[in-house]
């Protein structure tokens, strides 16, 4: 099979500029949202995205004109144990439709940013792939295969580094279901068989839902699948603050100091201060990871760029360092100010 032509694919995290394209792809699936819930869907997405409770990861075809490049996406939320148990034990199609219903009734079982951080540092998280969408317009079989491969890359960008204990998804249609099963997910329910029970017409094969999932125990017992590898977890070592993690996420996609300042709505001085705090923290934990700084030399600037390159290369392989995590008290810096100075038998400490 030759290399597909006419496409130039990248997998990346979605942002506010992608909202309209992703919503259009999702609505093209024709899921049975009631009139009121359909109109609420954009509001729920915006609320969850702005609060950090939902993330969107997508595949973009950069060979297309701007504004029509998103060819597939998946949205992820973290939910309560009770919701996972109910989804497994009470078959009913369209988890995403059910989430909108619960949002309207004020019973949404989705964790907020603080709850995600606590669970990620404790027993782990239940992740649900709650929404999806894709386009088949003008795609040859080889091109569809390339998009599915990039979709798997987007899945890992979204979830690698989290402490996951259960994964649930409800792919729509034959191609998406096969992709999930080939990746190692297991069938929980053939949800299309439940349609008549809740007074919905039986969907055609291209719109057939299938509830699939995987638990940590299943992943350990049957390793090797693409989804099973998401359960490999190592706790973070550096415990960066939230503002530091956000800066590093933007730096990973190549933003310069000036671009970071614009993206984060801070001054370039604040950006440099955060970099210094990040380097100090990394050096305190692992003094061999970064090259030593050069404060006053002709090559100080290039050495700073080298330190950043080393750190970002490390973080690409250790995404757990960028995931929400319950903060832990940082040890004082081992210097004159943090230790305090003893004068006449008294210890004087700095408030800086």
pLDDT tens by residue, 175-216: 889 999 999 999 998 865 554 444 455 656 667 888 999 999
pLDDT tens, N- to C-terminus, the chain (352 residues):
454 557 899 999 998 889 999 999 998 888 888 777 888 999 999 999 988 899 999 999 999 998 899 999 999 999 999 999 999 887 666 888 889 989 999 999 999 999 999 999 999 999 999 889 998 777 788 888 899 899 999 999 999 999 999 999 999 888 889 999 999 999 998 865 554 444 455 656 667 888 999 999 999 998 888 899 999 999 999 999 999 999 999 999 899 999 999 999 999 999 999 999 999 999 999 999 998 875 555 555 667 789 999 999 999 999 999 999 985 555 555 544 344 444 344 444 333 2
pLDDT at residue number 294 = 58
pLDDT at residue number 336 = 42
Domains of the chain, earliest start first: 10-231 (3.40.630.30), 242-329 (no CATH)
Cβ atoms of residues 160 and 120 within 8 Å: no
pLDDT at residue number 194 = 54
Residue 296: partners with Cβ closer than 8 Å, 6 or more residues away: none
- Name the token pair of 82: 């009770």
Cβ atoms of residues 111 and 119 within 8 Å: yes
- Which spans in 51-191 are helix H? 81-89, 95-105, 113-121, 141-159, 174-182
- Per-position DSSP letters for 27-86, written without gaps between them: HTT-----HHHHHHHHHHHHHHHHTTSEEEEEEEETTSPTTS-EEEEEEEEEE-HHHHHH
Q: Radius of gyration of the chain from Cα atoms?
A: 23
Residue 131: partners with Cβ closer than 8 Å, 6 or more residues away: 22, 26, 45, 73, 74, 75, 96
pLDDT tens by residue, 219-228: 999 888 889 9
Determine the longest span between alpha carbons in the chain, in angstroms.
85
Report the distance separating Cα 299 and Cα 281, nearest Å. 23
For tokens 């060819």, name the residue. Answer: 71
The sign of the CA dihedral 35, 39, 42, 44 is negative
């Amino acid at each position: 099979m030759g290399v597909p032509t006419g496409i130039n694919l990248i997998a990346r995290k979605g942002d506010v500029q992608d909202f309209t394209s992703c919503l259009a792809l999702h609505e093209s699936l024709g899921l049975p949202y009631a009139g009121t819930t359909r109109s609420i869907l954009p509001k729920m997405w915006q609320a969850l995205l702005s609060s950090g409770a939902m993330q969107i990861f997508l595949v973009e075809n950069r060979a297309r004109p701007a504004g029509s490049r998103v060819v597939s996406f998946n949205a992820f939320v973290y939910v309560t144990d009770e919701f996972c148990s109910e989804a497994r034990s009470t078959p009913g199609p369209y988890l995403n439709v059910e989430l909108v219903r619960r949002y309207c009734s004020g019973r949404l079982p989705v964790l907020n940013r603080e709850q995600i951080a606590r669970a990620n540092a404790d027993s782990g998280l239940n992740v649900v792939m709650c929404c999806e969408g894709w386009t088949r317009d003008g795609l040859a079989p080889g091109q569809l295969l390339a998009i599915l491969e990039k979709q798997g890359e987007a899945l890992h960008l979204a979830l690698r580094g989290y402490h996951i204990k259960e994964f649930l998804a409800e792919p729509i249609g034959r191609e998406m279901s096969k992709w999930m099963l080939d990746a190692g997910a297991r069938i929980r329910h053939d949800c299309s068989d439940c349609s008549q029970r809740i007074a919905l017409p039986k969907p055609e094969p291209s719109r057939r839902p299938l509830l699939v999932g995987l638990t940590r125990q299943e992943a350990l017992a049957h390793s090797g699948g693409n989804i099973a590898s998401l359960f490999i977890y190592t706790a973070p070592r550096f415990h960066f603050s939230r503002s530091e993690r956000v800066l590093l996420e933007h730096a990973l996609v190549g933003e310069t100091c000036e671009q970071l300042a614009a993206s984060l709505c801070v001054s370039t001085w604040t950006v440099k201060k955060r970099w210094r705090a990040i380097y100090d923290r990394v050096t305190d934990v692992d003094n061999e990871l970064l090259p030593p700084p050069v404060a006053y030399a002709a090559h100080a600037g290039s050495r700073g760029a080298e330190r950043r390159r080393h750190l970002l290369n490390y973080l690409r392989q250790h995404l757990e360092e960028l995931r929400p995590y319950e903060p832990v008290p940082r040890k004082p810096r081992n210097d004159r100010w943090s230790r305090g100075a003893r004068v006449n038998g008294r210890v004087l400490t700095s408030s800086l």
